[in-house]
Structure 1
């Protein structure tokens, strides 16, 4: 890591302005900025709850759970997907990669705390810094929509996979899902930040400087989110890169309609106001709605209407 860029946790207004013209710079600034608090912001943990979630997403996409000898995560962030997959027995050894030095730093720290066999590199998904045929598995969660050239990234994924190796990407926004999720999020933010101006609710209002900081982060977030996907188009991209056995599936409709307002509300109020009871209510409700989506709505509603798309495929033998 010595040769990697130094993490920059506080982007200036001038840097944010420059990032509007450079999505890769925006990704580095935004994710360096978020690295130290990212797990807390998204309620990420490395316990049974998130292990079950990660392994569940993997099985939903791939139909199996390994084990794979050596897995690499593309756009790892703090390591949420790969580290929980490793704890769930999907992979024995791991490599985390991200364009953000700050995220790689936190991911490696998390891996060390979990006593997992993981190395890490700062990496551009369009030019992955590993040799051909290095990995048995490549995974990613909520990463493809940040990459300017998704087709080039698929080609690189296939290059670093061993023959017969698999890739699994989850947590990517569909075009329809992004449409309703963003509007729900904006409405929830507006309602919460305005209602908490009332004297009777002022203890629920975050300090103005924190709200300003969140607004600056949101400005960068609108730059780093480059794509939404149609599942069929995503399948075509993977096949065009040379993948076989390509299959996209979708999940979360009612769960997303509930989850996005909840996450936005949590970001708009002081965290100390929301205790363990709230966390369990939000999680259990999301679980129940995910069951409804999977068991009752999948197959009845077009897959394009769900929020998340997952995709898997393999490198030809």
Structure 2
């Protein structure tokens, strides 16, 4: 939208200080700062690999008969990873990408344009969605609910803008147990990598100190940006209280998260392009194999609350 605010990729010290007391400002500053490198950081692409991943998350969360939804809304779209790949998979025909961060909305609409997808973009607060009632037949989000202060209010808004019988699907939400071990794994990996790359033979693997410092400052805001973790049963109750029906939460990534978090942290701590294609294939195929183990073996014996990612779906009453 032309009236959307401009991105703030380089926050002032005063803005950062204010963000410690304002979760929504923290989300804007943090994600505006990350918008230019977010796809690289999280190995996001818009090819078969991520199309299959996004469609797989959708099918894991909700039933789908293969027919496309006509108009979809994504909350907290970031650079567009979830909705744009779902559209390429045939899940939705037209879409609207929204985020609290103007930088992320700009990145998502650029990605959509490059892919030739029919997508609009808008800066939107998930607690106050500026679209009329019954505007969409699908609302999706990936790793967004844990950034929203009032999750139940967001669910009420989602249900309001859905047409009767419309469905919501949210994926990639951290569980309380999963977040605890993922953060520890990330912290240990960051400390080990940045310490070892100080040594003479390994200095070529070290990012410039100013980049490491900037990453550390931004990461410090995560304690403000990441507001919630979820117990799957509590998340189901929240959506049900908001008025949804047919609510179901599932979880994924236990063994896969044990590999994924150290891998992603290591990638963020070394210079871009240093690791190469063989590393990318090792990381991807390793994650695939452990995800298979999670899905076919561990989810039968490990409590769902121990897995890292929560997914939730439900519909608006007809």
User: The TM-score by the shorter chain falls in which range?
Assistant: over 0.9
Give how far 1:61 is off: 0.2
Aligned-pair CA distance for 1:14: 2.3
- Cα distance in 1, alignment partners of residues 50 and 238 from structure 2: 29
Q: Distance in 1 between matches of 2:86 and 2:13?
A: 37
Look up the match of 1:297: 298
Q: Structure 1: any 5+ residue segments left out of the alignment?
A: none
For 2:67 and 2:236, locate their aligned partners in 1 and report how far apart those are by CA, in whole Å: 22
Equivalent residue, structure 2, for 1:83: 84
Corresponding residue for residue 263 of structure 2 = 262
Residue 102 of structure 1 deviates from its aligned partner by 0.7
**Residue 164 (str. 1) matches residue 158 (str. 2):** no
**Separation in structure 1 between the aligned mates of residue 91 and residue 123 of structure 2, nearest angstrom:** 23
- 1:129 aligns with 130
Instruction: Give the deviation of 1:182 after TM superposition.
Output: 0.1
Q: Could you list the per-position Cα deviations for residues 100-141 of structure 1 after superposition, in whole angstroms to 9, with x for gaps in the alignment?
A: 111111101100110001011110000001000000000000
Q: Where do 5+ consecutive residues of structure 2 fail to align? A: none
Distance 1:12 1:276 in 2: 37
Q: Which consecutive aligned stretches of 4+ in structure 1 deviate over 3 angstroms post-superposition?
A: none
> Hey, what does 2:53 align to over in structure 1?
53
Find the aligned partners of 2:138 and 2:67 in 1 and give their Cα distance: 9
Task: Point out the more displaced range, 12-21 or 133-142.
Answer: 12-21
Alignment of 1:18-29 (within 5 A): 18-29=18-29
Q: Determine the structure 2 residue equivalent to 1:13.
A: 13
The reply to whether residue 231 of structure 1 matches residue 200 of structure 2 is no
Structure 2 residue 43 is the aligned partner of structure 1 residue 43: yes
- Secondary structure class of the residue paired with 2:169: strand
TM norm structure 1: 0.99
Matches within 5 A, 1:52-71: 52-64=52-64, 65-71=66-72
1:215-273 per-residue CA deviation (whole Å, 9 max, x = no partner) reads 11101222100000000000000000000000000000000010000000000011221
Aligned residue in 2 for 1:146: 147
Q: SS at 1:298's partner residue?
A: helix
* In structure 2, distance between residues paired with 1:115 and 1:226: 35
Alpha-carbon distance, 1:11 to partner: 1.4
Where do 1:165-244 residues align within 5 Å?
Answer: 165-244=166-245
**C-alpha separation in 1, matches of 2:67 and 2:306:** 30
Shift of 1:63: 2.2
Distance (Å, rounded) in 2 between the aligned partners of 1:155 and 1:305: 28
C-alpha distance in structure 2 between counterparts of 1:171 and 1:206, whole Å:
28
Structure 1 counterpart SS, 2:221: helix
**Most deviating of 169-178 and 271-280:** 271-280
Q: Aligned to 1:273, what secondary structure does the other structure show? A: coil
Q: Distance in 2 between matches of 1:301 and 1:136?
A: 34
TM-score (norm 2): 0.99
Deviations 1:64-86 (A, max 9, x none): 15411100000100100000000
Q: Relative to structure 1, is the Cα distance of residues 141 and 66 closer, same or farther in structure 2, using a 3 angstrom cutoff?
A: farther
Q: Deviations 1:130-187 (Å, cap 9, x if unpaired)?
A: 0000000000000000000000000000000000000000000000000000000000
CA drift of 1:2 comes to 1.8
In 1, distance between residues paired with 2:105 and 2:12?
21
